[in-house]
Structure 1
Amino acid sequence: MNIAANPVVEADQTVYLKDYQKPSFLVESIDLDIQVYDDYTHVLSKLVMQRQTAGDLVLLGRDLELKSISLNGKPLSESEYKLDSEQLVIANAPEHAVIETQVIIHPESNTQLEGLYQAGGDLFVTQNEPEGFRKITFYPDRPDVLSVFTTRVEADKKFPVLLANGNLIEAGEAGSDRHYTIWQDPTKKPSYLFACVIGDLAVMKDHYVTSEGRNVALEIYAEEKDIPKCRIAMEALKHSMQWDEEHYGRAYDLDNYMIVATSAFNMGAMENKGLNIFNTSCVLADEEFTTDAAIMRVQSVIAHEYFHNWTGNRITCRDWFQLCLKEGLTVFRDQSFSEDLQSAAVQRIDDVAVLKGHQFPEDSGPLSHPPRPDHFVEINNFYTATVYEKGAEINRMMSTLLGREKFRAGTDEYFKRHDGQAVTVEDWVAALTAGSGIDLSAFLTWYNQPGTPKLEAQGEYDAAAKTYRLSFKQSLKTHPKYPNLKAVPIPVALALFNAETGEQLTLNSSVLFENGVKDGVYLFDQDQASIEFSGVEAKPVVSLLRNFSAPVNLDFNYSDEELAFLMQYETNGFNQWQAAQTLLERILLNDHASEIYVQAMQNTVPDLINKDPLLVSRLFDVPTEGYLGSRIDENYNPVLIQEKRNALLSQLALAFGGFCKETYLALDPDSQKEFSQAMGVRALKNIMLTMLARQGDTEAFDLAHQQYQSTGNMSERLGALRVLVWNDAPQAKATLEDFYARFKDEALSLDQWFMVQAAHPNATAETLAYLTSHSDYDLAVPNRIRSVSGGLNANPVNTWSFGVQHFIQLAKYLDEKNPIVGSRLLQALSRWYTLAEPQRSTVKTELEALKPQVKSKNVVETLNSMLNV
């Protein structure tokens, strides 16, 4: 019987957290037999099940052709079970049930990249989070059903690699030209963590001895030509294993750890137990073929998926509403790991830039939701910046409040209490509370309501009493679905500086009606409160939310001069950057004078270059057009924002004059011993080159072309290419042709070729048509789609003109082929309602016209949310 795919979304398909019920049956063990043939795959499963509560035995299944089913050895007729497009139900099942099924599936035609699918002619892989396993076999496919998996994988010998989770316990012949392997994972896991891989791949091997003495075989599988690009990932994996032992006391628990790279993957990577499947963009790294930023991302994602072994796998989610439990905590852990790889200040800057560039706009628009949503139609739509990045910030706040030792005590208690369980956010906070001895229950409010809090602060100096008082007030924008929004606990990290000398002052505080400042952090958890510092000899300059201690919008009555002061004298690199960003927002959104910012940059940059060139490169950040647009809630005019931003960048470049060329020529990344230092030098060198071009110095094009030709480093080569292409330099066309000739067989590098052209500030509809009709543009490969769509979306002027139809047509096409990617790409248009007329009405009409043309739960839910403003 064939099962229909993608049923039309109905109102009653909404799933609510409040309706959670335990599954009626648990699975003690599952034996899987997956046999891959050219035009179909045969899957046999044996589930040993035990009743837990009253109710029918429910197995979930989608797109499965059921060939047979038996209960406790007795074949069942069609009258003995109910089957529809989503589930198979057996009423009155006995307390102990052994269910055996045989199904046919078609991975060779699976374009949605969920379940088992063919990722190219010589590779089959799985993606089962969140609900892909039900496309492989009938199973209670939910995260609170944990079982021991034994998996037999069989295929033609043209696929020499046959992998699954756990330890290899048997391998052999399976008749003429076929072979098999059998794997057993001794750790109970939910079905979303199941993985198998069938393909023709090469492998890089290494090993790691854990702190417990286990010798773990490490293997990274990729195409033969890409194996040399796995070296950085392998070193990052070993570093991650050591880091987790040292910082969290967590050692790895299996005899092998495998990673498989594929370009046909919707996600960045997946933490399947012991067998991680990665997008190639998150595992392949080499200075010749990938940028420094991509190398950092590879190291971060390798760490992220490894850290999931404990925060996600050994302890998993009770239900998908708890997604932020595993993802928010693991993002926080990988961010902390990455702080050890580069300038900690720059890592924090980069993390907050992502938060403000993606999560803050999400929180202020129609797609706003709590980090732990209370309802959904399609769970894939909630793999969002709010769940991941805001979830990480909640964990960071609790860590900041507890301090390193108490936070570690809390995590130790969490692992002790819940190893092998599927748990909730409440369980996590309770374990942190018990382990640390500090009540953190108030932080649950952060998990349960949407929106970015506004933190208003005012400073008042009393010269006679020599006191400085800070008054705080918090508020949240009203939300129609969440009428009872509450005050949240906000850790406010702060410092006072002598306004004359720049010296940081010692804090002597007393709080009116509340606790005091501890270790430079004040916990503000009321609607309003005040704090007072004594012994302050002169009016200070205050620095608030140091290191971005809470994900809030700060409204403080800084003068422009005070922000310029903080740019120069703050000892926290993040807050130097934050002061610059605040000043730039005032200039670009509120028409403040720009001269004070330019002067502050001239005062700050020269002394910092030798200390932290990477931080200097970030100080040159000017908020993107997209971020600036997200700060405007009505009558948004993308062209006006672009003009203001370009004028400021040109002013900054001209003000630095000969400094740009002098610095560019002096910077030598090859002389740096550490990668992080060389990365900073390269980043700053590219900025100086960009500023030279903005000065109108045509010699910049010669320098860019020389840099492009002479380097073997992708960051330098791509930086030069951008300068040439985005300024329509005489060398641009030939250099683009050269880049294509060099890298046409390197998929990740070729993605950059597409992105550079799509992101051209003056790209046109013809540019987009050329790229999307190119022979190397492939709608079956998410990375290639994102290279063009992401480049286009870098320029809101282009997005909101000819780009609207691009995103709508993509959503329409992918609605059937790959609705997960289609839904996410459509979100580029989520803030349509802020546009000035007549553009606003035009885009709304186009979005409404899309509604009757899509049917997947993914796209329909996103579109309905976007239009419901």
Structure 2
Amino acid sequence: MSQNVNQPASKRLADYRPPAFLIPELSLAFKLQPTATEVTAISHVVRNGDHHEPLVLDGEALELLSAKVNGEAVEVTQLPGKLQVATALDDFELTLVTRINPQDNSTLEGLYMSDGAYCTQCEAEGFRRITYFLDRPDVLAKYSVRIEAPQAFKYLLSNGNNIDSGALENGWHYACWQDPFPKPCYLFALVAGDMDLLEDSFHTCSGRDVKLQVFVDKGNLHKAHHAMASLKKAMAWDESRFDLEYDLDIYMIVAVDFFNMGAMENKGLNIFNTKYVLADVESATDDDFHGIESVIGHEYFHNWTGDRVTCRDWFQLSLKEGLTVFRDQEFSSDVGSRPVNRIHAIKVIKNQQFAEDAGPMSHPIRPEEVIQMNNFYTVTVYNKGAEVIRMMHTLLGESGFQAGMKLYFARHDGQAVTCDDFVQAMQDASGKDLTQFRRWYAQAGTPEVTVHDSFDAETGIYRLQLRQQTAQRLGEQSKLPLHIPFSVELLDPQGQSLVNQVLDFTQAEQTFEFSGLKSKVIPSLLQDFSAPVRLSYDFSIEQLLVLMAHARSEVARWEASVTLFSHAVWRNVERLQQQQSMVLDSRVIDAFRGVILSESLDHALAAEILKMPSASTLIEQASQVDLDKLLCARDYVLEAIATGCEDEALVRYRELHGVDNAGSRAFANALLSLLARGTDGHESLLERQFTLAANMTEALGALSAAVEGNADCRDTLLATFEQRWNQTPLVMDKWFSLQATINEAEVLDRITELQQHPAFSMSNPNRVRSLIGAFAALNIAQFHRADGAGYRFMTDIIKKLNSSNPQIAARIVTPLIQFGKLDPVRQLLIKQCLHELLALPELSKDLFEKVSKALKD
């Protein structure tokens, strides 16, 4: 294997040591200039324990102007990424003055400029690009911040409460902020710019009035109201569900267009990607509105689960992220549709997290080793972490879980702690032994639960035999049995519910008996996805039809539909491999026809059922994939269902089109996508919905159906959409993504040409994700084309991004490193590309970690 000469070292959880020094107070002063911002940092430094180690601070891309200890110049040694301060004092004041260049900071970490405004992103290790500091989450300080800038930068914002502001000479002004709560430096934030401001207030349960502010780019104020409403809804929910009240006098959200992440929970000053703030009915879909509500809630909920109690070290990231994802999922479920929100969460786990578990970046939700921390902001840490919290909630119940939360805050408010501290609080408050359950934090991989059942007609006993196994990867220790809450419903052949129970599955093999039954039952297994495991059970079509129609859980009905569709596809893959013609059991078509015709089924749930499993979903169901035959079989089954249900879908669509609620719009759009794949194609329907659309959900639904169905009107509709929205970046992101997913050989030429579009910028993460990222992640057929052109294209893009924004390069490389299920020829083509990346002389740590692990896997 080719090697990069500068292989970065790994950090290990086992090597954690408390900081040699603490910094309980930090005063920062900024004189903002685009290419020469001056930062004065005055730290109160305290030696932590009895030792004689030097003070060694982290720093990158900094120009040191001066260094003083207690007002006197001090000797310092500058090392790669470090600054060593020569002092034997145990308690002192350190004053450092540095100069930085925000304008040329293309990494979008530390302090940088976004469309003429200053903003920061310090998580995970961006603060070291602002000043030399102990850039680690277990060093908590109280911050005082003074910002000076020209008055053209109208708003000067930082964490905490505003304590002073005023005018200065030469057309400058200043603002001073003070945060009364100790925080790690990754939660520091600064924003300076001239923006539109939406203001409101929230009356807390204790009677305080909190000022709420949402800052957006000029001209976008009308798109900030949903974000404000979502914030107030989240604040009220956290009080009522978790008894948690906001603690500062002001809460601010700032939307910026250049941002590597979705949003950031900096104490009192959340910086958001515009994607999760700006929305109105004309330019945003129902899914956009839902996403904004969810992410606003997520960042607000971090105020307690992440800010007030934070991580001891970055290996504990799931302590705050898994817990807060669980909280935002519960928020969305309490204020919206619980089944649909649960389905969305399950899709992320099955489509993305299972793929991560099966790939070279597989890791536990509490990783043991890391090269670049940015690479561990993953669906494993976030979403599987949330599933682990959800299992804990299932085991303890709502009251036991809430008791654990209260004990957790009582013990650890104002501290940087570990995942073990959280689990211990849950165990102590509930009395539930969670010793075995802790293995979920330490073991990587997706457990597979194999189920066999039997019925003894003489005794009336039905038996479920469960076996759990987690694959052991090279170099890993053998996996121990996990504590799996396994939810089961048993139905009789007519669909009557007989048993609904959560089983404590704790052994490698375990048998559960159910007595008093009159006939063999139909099992609904792992209901509501009660644990993040792969389920192996040989469902018959008859069983799946009963579950689709009668399972008490709406999520289980959806799961049955996914299984029914998937089985049909895989059976046809087998037929193609045996050189037989493809067929589809008419009962499968009848089942989906029943969904279309149902008058009782929730419209949003019906829409989810009709969004047939994607190619990515199907790939994750197998250990090895004949990709060409899989894509062919999926298209066949999808088109057979669309053709078989065409008449009913057309009638139902006409009933639903124009009904003004999100569920009905989703159902209508799902029907339109089916119709676009039918024998007629229904071009007139596509054109009519697009032309007469009353909102973005309808317009984009028609455009998406035209792209997916390869309609003749596709390019005309795309051109019309571009003419209407070419000045609105977030809407253009949707347009870029749709073009990137077109399944035709010329799509690479199309994407190359689109990179020259005035609305596209390779320096903007949103644009890169929408066009380049969407191609690699969603256009399975063309990304994995047999000649390797898709891989070659992505490699060239990643080379460019490696030097400008390595964090984004490492994010979009993921589809390129998850090649283990592909045929040998495709694997070889991908490995050739990865070797090229590994040989880059200036390969970033972000990419090195992912690429090197992929080639070792």
TM-score normalised by the chain length of structure 2: 0.95
Q: Secondary structure of 1:417's match?
A: helix
Determine the structure 2 residue equivalent to 1:582: 563
> Contact 2:597–2:648 (CA<8 Å) still a contact in 1?
no
Residue 737 of structure 2 corresponds to residue 755 of structure 1: yes
Determine the structure 2 residue equivalent to 1:73: 71
Q: How big is each residue's C-alpha offset from its partner over 1:822-843, in whole Å with a ceiling of 9 and x where there is no partner?
A: 0111111122233223222122
> Contact 1:9–1:855 (CA<8 Å) still a contact in 2?
no
Determine the structure 1 residue equivalent to 2:779: 795
Q: How big is each residue's C-alpha offset from its partner over 1:470-497, in whole Å with a ceiling of 9 and x where there is no partner?
A: 1111101112232131111000011111
> Contact 1:57–1:93 (CA<8 Å) still a contact in 2?
no
- Which residue of 112, 115, 125 maps to 2:110? 115
Determine the structure 1 residue equivalent to 2:717: 735
Determine the structure 2 residue equivalent to 1:775: 758
Structure 2's unaligned 5+ residue stretches are 575-583
- Which residue of 37, 44, 48 maps to 2:44? 48
1:102 and 1:9 mapped to 2: Cα distance?
A: 34
- Which residue of 598, 602, 616 maps to 2:593? 602
Q: Aligned-pair distance for 1:558?
A: 2.2
Determine the structure 2 residue equivalent to 1:503: 496
1:764 and 1:579 mapped to 2: Cα distance?
A: 35
Q: Aligned-pair distance for 1:9?
A: 7.6
1:662 and 1:230 mapped to 2: Cα distance?
A: 38
- Which residue of 522, 528, 533 maps to 1:541? 522
Q: How big is each residue's C-alpha offset from its partner over 1:215-251, in whole Å with a ceiling of 9 and x where there is no partner?
A: 1000000012211111111111000001111111100
Determine the structure 1 residue equivalent to 2:578: none
- Which residue of 275, 279, 290 maps to 2:284? 290
Residue 83 of structure 2 corresponds to residue 101 of structure 1: no
1:657 and 1:317 mapped to 2: Cα distance?
A: 54
Identity of paired residues, percent? 38
Q: Secondary structure of 1:770's match?
A: helix
Determine the structure 2 residue equivalent to 1:222: 216
The one-letter code of the counterpart of 1:103 is: T
Q: Aligned-pair distance for 1:10?
A: 4.6
Q: How big is each residue's C-alpha offset from its partner over 1:56-111, in whole Å with a ceiling of 9 and x where there is no partner?
A: 212111111000001122111xxx33211211122453110210000000001000
Determine the structure 2 residue equivalent to 1:865: 853
Structure 1's unaligned 5+ residue stretches are 1-7, 508-519, 673-677
Q: Secondary structure of 2:834's match?
A: helix
Determine the structure 2 residue equivalent to 1:554: 535
Q: Secondary structure of 1:838's match?
A: helix
Q: Secondary structure of 2:634's match?
A: helix
The one-letter code of the counterpart of 1:633 is: S
> Contact 1:245–1:251 (CA<8 Å) still a contact in 2?
yes
The one-letter code of the counterpart of 1:598 is: I
Q: Aligned-pair distance for 1:646?
A: 0.9
Q: How big is each residue's C-alpha offset from its partner over 1:436-488, in whole Å with a ceiling of 9 and x where there is no partner?
A: 12122322111111000011111111111011111111101112232131111
Determine the structure 1 residue equivalent to 2:844: 856
Q: How big is each residue's C-alpha offset from its partner over 1:561-594, in whole Å with a ceiling of 9 and x where there is no partner?
A: 2122111111101111111212222222243854
Determine the structure 2 residue equivalent to 1:786: 769
The one-letter code of the counterpart of 1:791 is: A
Q: Secondary structure of 1:13's match?
A: coil
> Contact 1:394–1:443 (CA<8 Å) still a contact in 2?
no
- Which residue of 685, 690, 696 maps to 1:708? 690
Determine the structure 1 residue equivalent to 2:579: none
Q: Aligned-pair distance for 1:11?
A: 4.8
1:685 and 1:401 mapped to 2: Cα distance?
A: 39
Residue 651 of structure 2 corresponds to residue 657 of structure 1: no
The one-letter code of the counterpart of 1:600 is: A
Q: How big is each residue's C-alpha offset from its partner over 1:487-534, in whole Å with a ceiling of 9 and x where there is no partner?
A: 1100001111111x2110146xxxxxxxxxxxx211101111111111
Q: Describe how 1:225-236 pairs up with structure 2 within 5 A.
A: 225-236=219-230
The one-letter code of the counterpart of 2:32 is: V
Q: Secondary structure of 1:144's match?
A: coil
Change (3 A) 1:733 1:584: closer
Q: Secondary structure of 2:761's match?
A: coil
- Which residue of 451, 468, 481 maps to 1:457? 451
Residue 192 of structure 2 corresponds to residue 202 of structure 1: no
Q: Aligned-pair distance for 1:765?
A: 2.0
Determine the structure 2 residue equivalent to 1:693: 676
2:556 and 2:621 mapped to 1: Cα distance?
A: 20
1:237 and 1:702 mapped to 2: Cα distance?
A: 41
1:113 and 1:51 mapped to 2: Cα distance?
A: 33
2:516 and 2:794 mapped to 1: Cα distance?
A: 59
Q: Describe how 1:129-528 pairs up with structure 2 within 5 A.
A: 129-499=123-493, 501-506=494-499, 520-528=501-509
1:440 and 1:725 mapped to 2: Cα distance?
A: 49
Change (3 A) 1:632 1:530: closer
Change (3 A) 1:867 1:91: same
1:585 and 1:611 mapped to 2: Cα distance?
A: 22
Q: How big is each residue's C-alpha offset from its partner over 1:398-454, in whole Å with a ceiling of 9 and x where there is no partner?
A: 001111111111111111111000000000000011111212232211111100001
> Contact 1:9–1:856 (CA<8 Å) still a contact in 2?
no
Q: Secondary structure of 2:536's match?
A: strand
> Contact 1:594–1:648 (CA<8 Å) still a contact in 2?
no
Q: Secondary structure of 1:189's match?
A: coil
- Which residue of 14, 33, 57 maps to 1:59? 57
| Number of residue pairs matched by the alignment | 836
Q: How big is each residue's C-alpha offset from its partner over 1:357-410, in whole Å with a ceiling of 9 and x where there is no partner?
A: 110010011111111100101000000110001000000000011111111111
> Contact 1:162–1:197 (CA<8 Å) still a contact in 2?
yes
- Which residue of 528, 531, 537 maps to 2:512? 531
1:558 and 1:646 mapped to 2: Cα distance?
A: 23
Q: Secondary structure of 2:793's match?
A: helix
> Contact 1:34–1:43 (CA<8 Å) still a contact in 2?
yes
Q: Aligned-pair distance for 1:177?
A: 0.9
Q: Aligned-pair distance for 1:723?
A: 2.6
TM-score normalised by the chain length of structure 1: 0.94
Q: Aligned-pair distance for 1:690?
A: 1.8
